[in-house]
Each structure stands twice: as structure tokens, then as C-alpha cells.
Amino acid sequence: MKEIVIQTEKLSKIFGDFHAVDGISFEVYKGEIFGFLGANGAGKTTAMRMLCGLSHPTSGKAMVAGFDVFKQTEKIKKNIGYMSQKFSLYDDLTILENLELFGGIYGMSRKEIREKSQSLIEKLGLENESKKLVGSLPLGWKQKLAFSVSIFHEPKIVFLDEPTGGVDPVTRRQFWDLIYDAAHRGITVFVTTHYMDEAEYCNRISMMVDGRIEALGSPSELKAQFHTDNMDEVFYQLARAAKRSDS
């Protein structure tokens, strides 16, 4: 029996008469890499904000890391990690200071922060950079570090919102190595991306269209379902059918 870490049932968010998220139901399992895909404007960000406890749903049910998205948002925030391309680390703090800050925010003890900082810096090979400002690091390093910080407090789930946008192809793959490692350790990874090759790296994928989840399965299941051999085509078939156009 797989352990469920995210469960939603008819989860909806309505702004005025606009059904941004329109009754989505799905489950995500422990240690899974779950790709959350969809066109711009399909409702991914709104759904993700509800799951992170940042936006109050209009109706439906959802449990994240064992907590209710209606009533226990503070507990959810403590048990998840989050990283996006737009917000990651503070450029004007050093690597160590960033770790201290985020560790502190998540309630880790000073001793724990110190020990974990050291092992993380060794693992990433950043011994010579640990006292340098994050702003001075190359973008690829920053993104890898930001991911490591987002799971620094060993959350049950980490939410990644387009984490590899604009990153070079080699660094992008190194980033996915880190994701695989985290999932292997039992951290559930919930990730959005516009790179269809990255969709292939996920265990399962959901495709959102006009606020609803129109397809859900492993990459090979989805390709079989849409009679194609690549994820690009799955995406085109679904997104082209969208009524709610972003443009």
C-alpha cells in the first residue's frame, strides 16, 4: 500500500465567476516525482498555492502532508519545502547565512543547522564559496543550492515551480540528479516545468487544462493514451483543446 502524502477531492478556487481551479481530484504518493503540467493560465499556480497553504480554497477537500488545507495551513507550511525560479535565496547573504536563515525559519536548532550546513556544503563541493555572497555565484550553482535549501529541513514534500527555467542543459541535468536523490530518500517532489523532456523524468504527470486535470498517469501511460511516442505531442493535443486561452 503506497503512502499518500497529497490528496485532493474536487478542490476548487473561484475568483468572481472565474473557475481558476475547477474541482481537481488526485493523489500523490510518498517518494514520488509528480509532474504538474499545463499551459500558461491553466490554473497550475493557483492550485499549487492552495496546496502550499497560501491560498484558501473555495470548495472541495485537500490534505497535504497529513494536514487540512482549510484549517491547518501553518502546519502545512512547516512540513513542505518550496522553490521557484523567481524566489530562491537572498543574494546579499552568504551561503552559510542563507542556510542559517532558512533553517531558523523552519525551527531547526542552531546545532542542527551547523551540522547540516557543513555536510551540505561538502556534498555540493562549495567549501571555498561558503562565505561568499550568493549573488556572486553562477546561476546554475544558485539554483542547485536553492533546491538544497528548500529541502534543508527535511520536509515531507517539496514544491518546485519551474525550477530549471533558463538553466544550461548540463546544469539542468545535475539539478535533476538532486531531485532523484531527494525522491530516493523519501521526499515527495511536486514539480512544474515547461521542458517536456523533464516531464519524462517524473514518475507520474498530471495535465491541467482550463482549471481541470484532463489527464494523469506515467509518461508511458499518457503517450499510449494519446497514441504518440513523445510528451510534446501529448501536451499539444491537450492544450490545443483548451477553451480558456491565455492569449
Interface with other proteins by CB under 8 A: which residues? Answer: 38-41, 138-140, 162, 165-171, 173, 176-177, 180, 184, 194-197, 200-201, 219-220, 230-232, 235-236, 239-240, 245-247
Q: Which is nearer to other proteins, 25 or 85 (CB)?
A: 85
Q: Which residues contact 105 (CB under 8 A, 6 or more apart)?
A: none
CB of 231 to other proteins, least distance (A): 7
Q: Where are the beta strands (DSSP E) in 16-112?
A: 18-29, 33-38, 59-64, 67-68, 80-84
Q: Which residues contact 123 (CB under 8 A, 6 or more apart)?
A: none
Which residues, in sequence order, are CB contacts of 156 under 8 Å at separation 6+?
Answer: 5, 30, 65, 66, 79, 80, 187, 188
- Residue recorded with cell 533546491: 147
120 vs 202, beta carbon nearer other proteins: 202
Nearer to other proteins, 39 or 83 (CB): 39
Neighbours of 195 (CB within 10 A): 16
Shortest distance (Å) from residue 99 CB to other proteins: 23
Nearer to other proteins among residue 107 and residue 169 (C-beta): 169
